[in-house]
Amino acid sequence: AQTVTQSQPEMSVQEAETVTLSCTYDTSENNYYLFWYKQPPSRQMILVIRQEAYKQQNATENRFSVNFQKAAKSFSLKISDSQLGDTAMYFCAFMKPIPNYGQNFVFGPGTRLSVLP
């Protein structure tokens, strides 16, 4: 069974600074996807970034980028130029595709990020 670990329950960062959230996972699969989701105080779940395991290049979405280390099973999220609106709970998620369009997900426990003015 897959497991996802986020070792930082809470973090804080000053506005405009850079912060890195860590995520490690355990799997014997070779084909999988990794995601970072953001859940602001509104509780809405928002997809931040996605990484396919077969891609060596790290995914980037504007101020958000990942450091994907497949051998180490590590998938950290870097937020550059942090903004007050980045304050949220961040979840790392592992997805294993299964036949016939199936997708099975496992989530980490989350990291609560506070961006300080």
Decide: helix, strand or coil at residue 86: helix
User: Is residue 56 at the binding interface for another protein, with CB under 8 A as the rule?
Assistant: no
The CB density around residue 48, as the number of other CB atoms within 10 Å, is 19
Decide: helix, strand or coil at residue 84: helix
How far apart CA 117 and CA 103 sit, in angstroms, is: 39
Q: Which residue lies nearer to another protein by CB, 82 or 90?
A: 90
**Position among 11, 73, 107, 112 found at the interface with another protein (CB under 8 A):** 107
The alpha carbons of the chain give a radius of gyration, in whole angstroms, of 14
Restricting to residues 76-95, name those near another protein by CB under 8 A: 91, 95
Q: Which two tokens stand for residue 41?
A: 């105080």
User: Is residue 25 at the binding interface for another protein, with CB under 8 A as the rule?
Assistant: no
Q: Which two tokens stand for residue 108?
A: 């980490």
Closest approach, Cβ 6 to another protein, in A, equals: 10
User: Is residue 109 at the binding interface for another protein, with CB under 8 A as the rule?
Assistant: yes
Q: Which residue lies nearer to another protein by CB, 6 or 82?
A: 6
In the complex, which residues of this chain contact another protein (CB under 8 A)? 33, 35, 43-47, 50, 91, 95, 97-98, 100-110
